[in-house]
């Protein structure tokens, strides 16, 4: 460890700060450090500044990571904390996901009704996530989708102001903010979560062996196996910011069971598939992606380009 505080980069939003504090607490406990040994450095990400348009229209997931990537590669910070679902599938070769913290609740929470079935007829539902929008419209084509961006407090305020009849939030985010009991959790095996949902990923420079060694002590191997399998599925599908994909990965007798669903953006078409494979066997997600794409109707297939890889 260097003779100075380690610098942990994070976005400035309340949830991101809570995740950074969790990462620091776990590292302090694992390494016998004090909080003063890890300085949290916050940045306002482009994704936090742009609130009036869906991310897919203005740059996608990179809007959550690009400032922290720059700081990391320039040595301004030693590592960075992210929501795993917000980290682009293909990352720079000189950045490594060094730890995945124990995964929180993967479920979505519905606010405004007790269940999807009990949404009022013609309900206006606020979301800017293609997965949530397509999954909603598949289950309830009578509903309409209202673009909804912002942090948890902003979206709750928009809902209270009547901008929509209902909206979704991630259970993990609510739990990390102490907002337990808010809304109605949706069964994950019926309403599938996003790839990486509920997990915190910590990145550092790929050539920084000292920091990688420190972070290895807080790397939760079961959570890493599931999250990296979901990222492998995404890479094999070649989705983009408009692609609607949902996936649930759970332990089973062979290692992992993955259930994935692809949707057309309007929800009219849904395609499901399953795979069983050993933890850290990325051929399993690849084969599932190939099988799904081989069966995909044009309305789904046009939003997936096939395998992607990092050439850097």
What per-residue confidence (pLDDT) applies to 50?
A: 46
Whether 112 and 143 share a structural domain: yes
What secondary structure does DSSP assign to 218-230, as a single string?
Answer: T--HHHHHHHHHH
Question: Per the structure, how many domains does the chain have?
Answer: 3
| For residue 25, pLDDT beyond 90 | yes
pLDDT of 6: 96
Round to the nearest angstrom and report the end-to-end CA distance of the chain. Answer: 28
Give the domain range for residue 254: 231-301
What pLDDT, in 10s, does the model give residues 51-102? 444 545 544 445 557 789 999 999 999 999 999 998 988 899 999 999 999 9
pLDDT at residue 44, as a whole number = 66
Is 86 in the active site? yes
Q: Are residues 78 and 214 in the same domain?
A: yes
The angle subtended at Cα 29 by Cα 25 and Cα 35, nearest 5°, is 50
Assess contact for 203 and 267: CB atoms under 8 A: no
Does position 172 have pLDDT exceeding 90, yes or no?
A: yes
Q: Which of 48, 69, 78, 86 is flagged as catalytic?
A: 86
Q: What pTM was estimated for this model as a whole?
A: 0.91
| C-alpha span between 286 and 303 (Å, rounded) | 17
How do residues 230-276 score in pLDDT, each as one tens digit? 999 999 999 877 799 999 999 988 899 999 999 999 999 999 999 99
Instruction: Decide: helix, strand or coil at residue 70.
Output: helix
| Rounded Cα gap, residues 213 and 217, in angstroms | 7
> What percent of the chain shows pLDDT beyond 90?
78
- Claim to verify: residue 93 and residue 154 sit in the same structural domain: no
Q: Are 283 and 236 within one domain?
A: yes
38 three-state secondary structure: strand
What was the pLDDT predicted at 4?
82
pLDDT in tens, 293-307: 999 999 999 999 888
Find the CATH number of the domain harbouring 113: 3.40.190.10
- 73 found inside a domain: yes
The answer to whether residues 14 and 95 belong to one domain is yes
CA 108, 164, 84: angle at the middle one, nearest 5? Answer: 30
Contact status, residue 206 vs residue 95, Cβ threshold 8 Å: yes
Determine the average pLDDT of the residues in 166-190.
Answer: 94
Sign of the alpha-carbon dihedral angle for 117, 122, 126, 128: positive
49 and 13 in one domain? Answer: yes
Q: Is residue 312 part of a domain?
A: no
Judgement on whether residues 14 and 96 belong to the same structural domain of the protein:
yes
pLDDT given at position 59? 45
């Amino acid at each position: 460890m260097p003779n100075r505080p380690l610098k942990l980069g994070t976005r400035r939003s309340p949830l991101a700060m809570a995740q950074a504090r969790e990462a620091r607490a776990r590292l302090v406990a694992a390494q016998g450090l004090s909080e003063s040994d890890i300085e949290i450095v916050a940045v306002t990400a482009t994704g936090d500044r742009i609130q009036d348009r869906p991310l897919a229209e203005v740059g996608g997931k990179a809007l959550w990571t690009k400032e922290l990537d720059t700081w990391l590669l320039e040595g301004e910070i030693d590592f960075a904390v992210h929501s795993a679902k917000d980290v682009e599938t293909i990352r720079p070769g000189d950045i490594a996901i060094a730890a995945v913290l124990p995964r929180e609740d993967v479920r979505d929470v519905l606010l405004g009704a007790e269940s999807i079935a009990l949404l009022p007829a013609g309900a206006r539902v606020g979301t800017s996530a293609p997965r949530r929008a397509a999954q909603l419209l598949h289950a309830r084509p009578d509903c309409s989708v209202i673009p909804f961006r912002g942090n948890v407090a902003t979206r709750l305020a928009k809902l209270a102001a009547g901008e929509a009849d209902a909206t979704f939030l991630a259970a993990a985010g609510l739990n990390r903010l102490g907002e337990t009991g808010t809304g109605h959790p949706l069964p994950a095996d019926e309403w599938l979560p996003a790839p990486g949902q509920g997990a915190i990923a910590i990145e550092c420079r790929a050539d920084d062996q000292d920091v990688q060694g420190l972070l290895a002590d807080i790397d939760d191997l079961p959570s890493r196996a599931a999250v990296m399998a979901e990222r492998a599925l995404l890479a094999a599908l070649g989705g983009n910011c408009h692609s609607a994909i949902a996936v649930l990965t759970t332990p089973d007798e062979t290692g992992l069971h993955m259930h994935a669903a692809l949707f057309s953006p309007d929800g009219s078409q849904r395609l499901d598939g399953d795979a069983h494979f050993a933890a850290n066997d990325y051929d399993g997600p690849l084969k599932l992606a190939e099988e799904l794409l081989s069966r995909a109707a044009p309305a789904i297939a046009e939003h997936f380009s096939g395998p992607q890889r990092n050439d850097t």
